[in-house]
Amino acid sequence: MISECRSGGRGTHATLHNEDEIKRLGLTIGDTVVVSRAGDVIPQITKVLTELRTGREKMFAMPKRCPVDGSRVVKEGAIARCSNPRCGARNRELLYHFVSRAAFDIRGLGPKIIDRFLDEGLMTDAPDIFALPAGDIAALERFGEKSAENLVREIGGKKNITLPRFLYALGILHVGEETARVLARAIEKARRAHAPLDVLAWGEKLNAADLETLPDVGPVVSRSITGYFKERRNRDLLKKFDRAGITFISSAHEGKKLAGKIFVFTGGLSSLEREEAKERVRAHGGEVSESVSKKNSYVVAGGEPGSKLEQAKKLDVPIIDEEEFLKLIK
């Protein structure tokens, strides 16, 4: 859902409370709706504009399986909930692990904030982190626009990661930092690993005997790893990471200030030439791209920026000005 607000706010989420509320409103999928926000809370759908229907709307049906763990959904009055009492808890733990220092290292996204985002329905799994719109975060109570933007910018800057860190972040049982490094070397030996789909392709062909030839990988660890890739939910997760724009960077650049960051320039800079700016980025371990995509960390907008700026806004790529750029390359 995309909402544009008269007061200038923009978001993609609104609450609907429960199934009865959907029935009461007569809401179908594809409808145009009126959304309003009372105070500093998540916006609510208040009206369906039936006159704008095109005939392609679909009836809504409550899912029978939980989107988090695939357990059966049960109804208690108007509320539908997952039948697994442990549901959510394991997911939460996995997310805390995912953003931790040795994994994706997203400092602004601690357990408390993860809890809130889960509870407010802003995300359900780790790939969702990379699609959090600043507008939705800013709509949460005690979350200012500035801190929402900072968080989205920080997350955008973490999309490029080394393969060992990514594998560790997945939270595969028995795969600690060291085993993740061993696995990364095995994957890189077998194929060029650019993005999560390469990990998936490797994992799908995996057999336990090959794994057990790796240092420190015994039958228990090997079973855990092959088991991970056998589960459909995990394979879907890897595809979703790929769509979110996660890419792998060489460990050689790790530690450098702009390692893994991809920059796009648009418009003129006043204090240095474009070529010089690009060189400075590369010197700090970063990369420069000519076109805007979700994989970019920053679009640097100088004077009279071109269409790339509009694209960056559409794709939610963080936009910085010359001053902020200079701070990054200092």
Q: What phi and psi, each to the nearest 5 degrees, are found at residue 211?
A: -60, -40
Closest CB to Zn ion among residues 127, 305:
127
| The binder of Zn ion chosen from 44, 71, 124, 311 (CB under 5 A) | 71
Closest approach of Cβ 118 to Zn ion, in Å?
12
Binding segment for Zn ion among 68-76, 228-236, 247-255, 297-305 (CB under 5 A)? 68-76
Closest CB to Zn ion among residues 85, 255:
85
Orientation angle between helical segments 232-243 and 219-230, nearest 10 degrees: 70
Does 87 help bind Zn ion (rule: CB under 5 A)?
yes
Does 68 help bind Zn ion (rule: CB under 5 A)?
yes
Binding segment for Zn ion among 84-92, 115-123, 259-267, 318-326 (CB under 5 A)? 84-92
Closest CB to Zn ion among residues 68, 186:
68
Structure-token pair, residue 313: 């806004």
Closest CB to Zn ion among residues 92, 194:
92
Closest CB to Zn ion among residues 66, 238:
66
Does 244 help bind Zn ion (rule: CB under 5 A)?
no
Closest approach of Cβ 80 to Zn ion, in Å?
11
Number of residues that bind Zn ion (CB under 5 A): 7
Using an 8 Å Cβ cutoff, are 308 and 266 in contact? yes
47 beta partners: 34
The structure tokens 């806004």 sit at 313
Does 300 help bind Zn ion (rule: CB under 5 A)?
no
Q: What phi and psi, each to the nearest 5 degrees, are found at residue 289?
A: -120, 150
Closest CB to Zn ion among residues 124, 226:
124
Farthest-apart Cα atoms in the chain, separation: 65
Does 80 help bind Zn ion (rule: CB under 5 A)?
no
- Read out DSSP for 83-151? S-TTTTHHHHHHHHHHTSTTTT--TT--HHHHHHHHHTTS-SSGGGGGG--HHHHHTSTT--HHHHHHH
d(CA 123, CA 218): 35
Closest approach of Cβ 82 to Zn ion, in Å?
3
Site of interaction with Zn ion (CB under 5 A): 66, 68-69, 71, 82, 84, 87
